[in-house]
Amino acid sequence: MPSILSKIWNLKPQAAPAGLSQWAGQLGVTEFLARLLYNRGLTTPEAMDVYLSPGLRHLCKPEDIPGLAGAARVLAQGLTEGKRLAVWGDYDVDGLTATSLMLEFLRSRGFDPLWHIPNRRDEGYGLNAAGIEELARAGAQMLLTVDCGITNPAEAARARELGLTVVITDHHLPHGPLPDAQAVCNPRLAPCGLEHLAGVGVAFFLAAAVNRLLPGEPADVRSLLDLVALGVLADVVSLTGVNRVLVKNGLLLINEAARPGIYALKEASSFHPRAKLGAGQVVFGLAPRINAAGRMGEADAALNLLLAADLETARPLANALDRQNRLRREEEELIREQAMAQAAEQGERMGLVLYAPGWRTGIIGIVASRVAEAANRPVLILADERGLIKGSGRGVADFDLFAALGECREALAGFGGHRQAAGLSLDPQRLGDLRLLFDAAVRRQLGDSPAQPKLTIDAELEFSAIDHTLVKELDLMQPFGMGNPEPVFRTGGLILESRREFGANHLLLELRDPASGLKLRAKAWRMAEKFAALAPGKTLALAHTPRLDQYRGLDAIELRVKDVLME
């Protein structure tokens, strides 16, 4: 029988080595957690220890990133010679945090850098000649890109024509000729095991390397890790390896909120300024307010917030971003409704290409994610911008969006991005061609019908095993995200005693386990309509994650519902 959300539940193969109990004792955790980690691929006690205690000693060396050592030498030499540096970033959270990080680091070492964040509506993504020329007139002698530039050879050439020393740092997939710069740094230029670094992660390691090369007292770059964590989490890169170390340590600084901008941002997001936030709260609470600035064409406000010297400066900026975010949500919902209607009309297509001239390009990327999830098909959402059609794409599991766009390049003016997310532009006359090419590219990868979505179950879990010790151990697995998903458990034979809807489409369930007599509450967020058939008295299996609810200062265990299977 299918689940209510029509997902296939796949229980992970369960295995355990003979010495697992001893490993758990060495690590100071239960055997259940050790088994959970083993079945996630952590097959030695040493690997488990690094995962559970990801200290900064486990970071890679900056020179492990292709091109970084050369980039650091070029920058350090130019700065030492007195050349004025301009930092060129991007208007999303990754780009804004990378820009903020470099500006703060350079100022801490006594430099006065220029900077430029493109206006999304007027300039678009990446480098542009007009902005470079303006920086040159303002006195820039060196140009450093963060989170962009790898696909801008013509613009980099213009900067060199103007006499600028050019250093490109990026993490997006390169395609076509590389920029002719004095240094190009990108973890995707060669196999290095660091391909999942975000732009702000590259910027952090660059700052650390330049810090060592500059004369004088070095700065403590560890204070920049809150910016790194914010940017990495918002960019939805894999939270494994180096990224896990960066985010785990950066979240500690976000929770301390010593940075006025973070303090004010947490306040504006309805969190206590010193609240302990998980990855999800940063992604869905803090990051959208930073992103709203760039999406609505005012990225400078977000940069000023992150660099604010005091709360008096930071609070008005955070409140302004909160207002922008509310406007963004309203516009996003309107676009989502129109996009879903178009998707329904294209029901026969495997690759959806949705377009309306009035949509805002800064918002359609969020909508693309929601449509792709709802339709379980790759989606391109497009709108008009400065004479071109521009937009964003989002993929699904087991699909390489970047590769698919490569197969559509004959219809495109340009594209860039990752396996799961990308941006693109095209001449309006090629829209029909793109629809045909993209649908064909999707079918070559996924076949002629959408695969039934899957839900990975980490383990079976009885109600009697759900206690505070388990919940606290699961918290050691934070931060959760791509590459390190929140664990999901299956508990069967439960009786639904009551249901109550609350808020905007949320559902509270009261569940009883007849075997143990225990009762627990479960919440299904934004699923009340989907679970309308759930009636008291029904027997069901629940896919869930145990959480600790601290509402009004009282600690209580509740279950976060992922799906329901009627028994």
Closest CA to 498 of 527, 522, 518: 522
Amino acid code (one letter) for 36: L
Question: Which of 286-300, 351-365, 520-534 bottoms out in mean pLDDT, i.e. has the lowest?
Answer: 286-300
Asked if the model's pLDDT at residue 381 lies above 90, the reply is: yes
Burial (CB < 10 A; 0-12, 13-18, 19+), residue 433, is middle
To 10 degrees, the CA torsion angle through 249, 252, 258, 263? 120
Give the pLDDT mean for 527-533: 90
Residue 542 has pLDDT above 60, yes or no: yes
Percent pLDDT > 90 in the chain is: 83
Distance CA 462, CA 401 (A): 39
**237-249 burial, b if ≥16 CB within 10 A, otherwise e?**
bbbebbbbbbbbb
Q: At 386, is the pLDDT very low, low, confident or very high (cuts 50, 70, 90)?
A: confident
Neighbours of 556 (CB within 10 A): 12
Instruction: Work out the pLDDT band at 28, boundaries 50, 70, 90.
Output: very high
Torsions phi, psi for 358 (to 5 deg): -85, -5
pLDDT tens-digit series, residues 341-379: 999 999 889 999 999 998 988 788 889 989 998 899 999
For residue 524, what is the enclosing H or E element?
Answer: strand 519-524
pLDDT of residue 170: 97
Can you tell me the distance from the alpha carbon of 245 to that of 59, in angstroms, rounded to the nearest whole number? 7
Burial of 84 (0-12, 13-18, 19+ CB in 10 A): middle
What are 407-426's pLDDT values in tens digits?
A: 999 999 989 888 888 899 99
The string of pLDDT tens digits covering residues 113-153 is: 999 999 877 887 889 999 999 999 999 999 999 999 999 99
Model confidence over 74-104: pLDDT tens digits? 999 999 999 999 999 999 999 999 999 999 9
Q: Per residue in 237-277, pLDDT tens?
A: 899 999 999 999 999 999 999 999 999 999 999 999 999 99
Q: Is 46 exposed, middle or buried (0-12, 13-18, 19+ CB in 10 A)?
A: exposed
Query: Domains plus CATH for the chain?
Result: 8-12+458-566 (2.40.50.460), 58-256 (3.90.1640.30), 346-446 (3.10.310.30)
pLDDT score for 1: 58
Task: For the chain, give the longest Cα–Cα distance.
Answer: 77
Bridge-based pairing of strands 459-460 and 489-502 is parallel
pLDDT range class, residue 551, cuts 50, 70, 90 = low
**What beta strand segments (E) does 374-475 contain?**
379-385, 388-394, 414-417, 421-426, 454-457, 459-460
Structure-token pair, residue 540: 């069901």
Give pLDDT, residue 297: 65
Evaluate the CA torsion angle 152, 157, 162, 167 in order and state its sign.
positive
DSSP tally for the chain: helices H, then strands E: 19, 18
Q: What's the CA angle centered on 292, arms 287 and 296, to 5 degrees?
A: 165
Output the pLDDT for position 362.
Answer: 78
Fill in the DSSP letter of residue 113: -
Q: Say how far apart CA 454 and CA 465 lie, in whole Å.
A: 25
Peptide bond connecting 13 to the previous residue in cis, omega within 30 degrees of 0 = no
pLDDT the model gives residue 504:
84
pLDDT of residue 500: 94
* Bigger pLDDT: 363 vs 546: 546
Query: Helices 364-375 and 311-345 sit at what angle, rounded to 10 degrees?
Result: 50
Under DSSP, the state recorded for 272 is: -
171-178 mean pLDDT: 89
pLDDT digits (tens, 9 = 90+) for 486-501: 999 999 999 999 999 9
Q: Which two tokens mark 539?
A: 């027997």
**Looking at the predicted structure, is the pLDDT value of residue 327 above 80?**
yes
Q: How confident is the model at residue 552 (pLDDT cuts 50, 70, 90)?
A: low
Mean pLDDT of the chain: 93
